[in-house]
Amino acid sequence: MTRRLPRRALALCAGGMLLLSSHPSAALAEPADPPSAGGAWQTPTSARLSSDGSLSDVVGLSASSAWAVGQQSVWDIWQSRGAIAHWDGSAWSEVGVRNDPTGAGVLRSIAAGSPTELWAVGEGHDGLPYVARGDGTGFDRFAVDELRVGDWLGGVAAGGGRMVSVGRRGKDPMILTVTSAKRKVAKLKGEGTLYGVALSGKDDGWAVGDDGDGPLLARLSDGRWKTVKAPGVPNGYLRDIHIDGPKRALAVGGVYRGESGEAGPLILSWNGKKWSRVRVRGDRMNLYGVTGDRKGHFWISGVDLKRPGEAFLLRYDGRTLKSVHGAPAEARRTVRLQSVAYLPKDGGVLAVGHVVDPKGRYTDVIERFGAPERAKS
């Protein structure tokens, strides 16, 4: 377990309730866009999970097919259970795990290798990491004998005939790889935890996390995962990564300040040769997820603590960051968008997370942002 794992695990599993420092940042970015600039927010919706429900990850296959995972009853260790929801183009519906009526305790991440090959990971009620495989109509728990009690899975990616899930075993970063021929668990050198992973092609990928002192980066090359040197960001961590091509990738997370749990944003950019830090204006935001269109445009989900009641995304074109806010809330609330997915051929993005009311109650939320001509009332 890394030095800061308990509070970071809370951020990943229960909504990322990290407060940000009020100290000014020296970083720069473009002024915020008005809500309608370059796109439009559509009416938010919900998967209608039970009380205190939250969605933690989403994958978009098309404008008429998307999958999301999360947790219901997030504050009740005895009642909490994982949730899987599907969008069929007209409505969201919850999908169960066919061969496991008890289901997962929490599902943290979902990925699609194809419309008929889906993977979700999290934690089971039996203390084992939870892996579920979907075929487009439902899910089944997938047995991985190489996993054991105490292992922790945080992120998953699929493609090129393989599934890769990352997390931690003991104090070490752990990577699970599943193909049609084998299942393998590998530990990386050094301490740390991996939270996010992305694949590009059959033999290229990145995984991100932290080593207890700063960001942790690992790369898949020639069939092996190896840690690579990350930019020096003391107390930094990375939560998610998106690969937009051989020479473009973006990783997002935060930087802790002191032992209070307060943090500011962190964005790292890959240009095919090295990672560098993207400068961000202000520090009153938490960043959770990132996606892209493979044309050099990225969207980052999170929460703007200066305007917590509004849905919030950052857009990045490789040069500048621009913030996009949803409509102001009529009542006091906090909207945390924990994951975002690009919708192929649609041009829009789908973001999921939760809304917290003044009494601390959670409601899952699904937001969609797209080009004005595609927006629907």
User: Which of 26-30, 126-130, 245-249 is least confident?
Assistant: 26-30
Residue at token pair 């009853």: 73
Rounded average pLDDT over 50-55: 90
pLDDT above 70 for 168: yes
- Count of residues making up the chain: 377
pLDDT tens column, 229-280? 999 999 999 999 999 988 999 999 999 987 777 889 999 999 999 999 999 9
Percent residues over pLDDT 70 in the chain: 88
Rounded average pLDDT over 330-340: 94
pLDDT above 80 for 371: no
How far is it, in rounded angstroms, from Cα 86 to Cα 108?
A: 15
How far is it, in rounded angstroms, from Cα 154 to Cα 117?
A: 19
> What pLDDT sits at residue 33?
42
Rounded average pLDDT over 303-328: 95
Query: Which is it for strands 193-199 and 204-210: parallel, antiparallel or unpaired?
Result: antiparallel
Could you tell me the pLDDT band of residue 21, with boundaries at 50, 70 and 90? very low
3-class state of residue 7 by DSSP: helix
For the chain, domains (ranges, CATH) are 5-374 (2.130.10.10)
3-state helix, strand, coil in the chain (%, to 5): 5, 50, 45
3-state secondary structure 268-289: EEECCCCEEECCCCCCCEEEEE
Percent residues over pLDDT 90 in the chain: 73
> What pLDDT sits at residue 39?
67
> What pLDDT sits at residue 82?
94
Order of all β-strands in the sheet with 275-277:
236-245, 248-256, 263-270, 275-277
